[in-house]
Structure 1
């Protein structure tokens, strides 16, 4: 069990640094107990308890009796930093397959999902493009790229997603029309897509309404699942791109509603 020295718990700076370390431990392990965290960080269980209340209030982590988790549930979407570290080969495979949908000269809208973030660097070779996004890290990918016209979709900043959401973002999206929208979401079954957060659903719905064509990018961990809020039917997408870990029966069911591309995952 890890041990490390920690500064006194009283100052705002040391408190924030301790909470950052707590978050790092939870993101690395997925789910841990309060007593484990207290020993790992070198503070009392009550101090960890207060810190976790603050972190859960920000939507960074999910509390449960006796412990804390970064893993998603049907009502809780996990932190971006946690999602960036899981199912990476599958997301990269889906991104490679989805890149074939983009041609030079197109206008494309990208959401704030980690799968689309894996796609973004592949699109730099597709220039000239017009790229619209609400994701700060996607903006970073294209900033300064020659022949990429980059449009930021602003709104209320979400630290959990490192992106912009809310009414201003929806209004900015509704003022546009693009050739192709590429999104992911947290859950889907053979007929319907879902997400846990209402604000995210509203932004994704606005994005899908703005596109002539729509593509859904999903790794196998997100399929045969549901979330609290229905996003839209699978049939609303022109393309669904999944990795080869999705069961063949589900792929067949999806193909009754839309065009499906299965991406092989490299060993």
Structure 2
């Protein structure tokens, strides 16, 4: 219950831009003490900022929240994107999945597309893949980063570079002027390597990413063969992307 409430707090703040602590208490029907405890933990993760009784979204260009926390954020949108993207992968393919939480949900959906070979640097993706008899798992190796539950660094990027996949499915943390970014250089490096090693590249981008910034460039949106987003992305954003030459598909909502 606590984790779900905190995920919803972040979603509300990101959606509305700011919200008062009193409003949060009324929305969730809990005491102010409980809300303050939630906000203290969220602020320590770099997800929100508190100032004079008002909570705002953090300018998260320098850090990313832990992977298991992010799994609960914007889950309906991510599940819609994951299902749509998984259906784009032909049976028998070699597919690369990055360490994004949308990638974890995509791995679950790929069980319907077996047989497949899945290459990943994510231990959360690996958990999903090894539970399916129809998927062959290839882990990149590399230096383990607990916050991402992933393998990163030169070994991970080097392993990816030595392979040739049919398609990669990657996500990013933010988009600025049509270019995708991530807060950490070592994460961006693995995503870039996956794109170079794959015949096709698909970006998995939920609507919140179009309102966020990050530090390290991954690739222009036009470098992806397809960008899959959810129905929460505004018509204005979709029109701007298509006018800029980006191939965009909007995933249908899932129940």
TM-score after normalising by structure 1: 0.75
Instruction: Compare 75-84 and 201-210 and name the one that shifted more.
Output: 75-84
Q: Residue 108 of structure 1: which of 73, 95, 118 is its match?
A: 95
RMSD: 3.1
Contact 2:118 2:135 in 1 (8 A): yes
Partner of 1:245: 232
Structure 1 residue 225: Cα displacement: 2.9
Are residue 184 (structure 1) and residue 168 (structure 2) matched? no
Are residue 83 (structure 1) and residue 70 (structure 2) matched? yes
For 1:169 and 1:103, the matched residues in 2 are separated by: 25
SS of structure 2 residue aligned to 1:86: coil
Q: Residue 142 of structure 1: which of 102, 109, 129 is its match?
A: 129
Rate the CA distance shift 1:225–1:150 in 2: closer, same or farther, 3 A. same
Q: Residue 61 of structure 1: which of 41, 45, 58 is its match?
A: 45
Are residue 200 (structure 1) and residue 187 (structure 2) matched? yes
Q: CA offsets, 1:99-149, max 9 Å, x none?
A: 121011110000011111111111112111111001101111111532322
SS of structure 2 residue aligned to 1:203: helix
Contact 1:190 1:250 in 2 (8 A): no
Contact 2:49 2:58 in 1 (8 A): no
For 2:176 and 2:231, the matched residues in 1 are separated by: 16
For 1:190 and 1:240, the matched residues in 2 are separated by: 15
For 1:211 and 1:252, the matched residues in 2 are separated by: 28
SS of structure 2 residue aligned to 1:130: strand
Q: Count how many residue pairs are aligned between Structure 1 and Structure 2.
A: 230
Contact 2:60 2:212 in 1 (8 A): no
Are residue 261 (structure 1) and residue 249 (structure 2) matched? yes
Contact 1:181 1:211 in 2 (8 A): yes
Q: CA offsets, 1:224-258, max 9 Å, x none?
A: 43211121111110000000111112112222323
TM-score after normalising by structure 2: 0.78
Q: CA offsets, 1:14-35, max 9 Å, x none?
A: xxxxxxx9x9997675599xx9
Are residue 154 (structure 1) and residue 141 (structure 2) matched? yes
Q: Unaligned regions of 5+ residues in structure 2, if any?
A: 14-20, 22-31
Contact 1:28 1:82 in 2 (8 A): no
Structure 1 residue 217: Cα displacement: 0.4
Partner of 1:45: none
For 1:248 and 1:184, the matched residues in 2 are separated by: 21
Partner of 1:221: 208
Contact 1:133 1:139 in 2 (8 A): yes
Q: Unaligned regions of 5+ residues in structure 1, if any?
A: 1-20, 42-47
Structure of greater Rg: 1
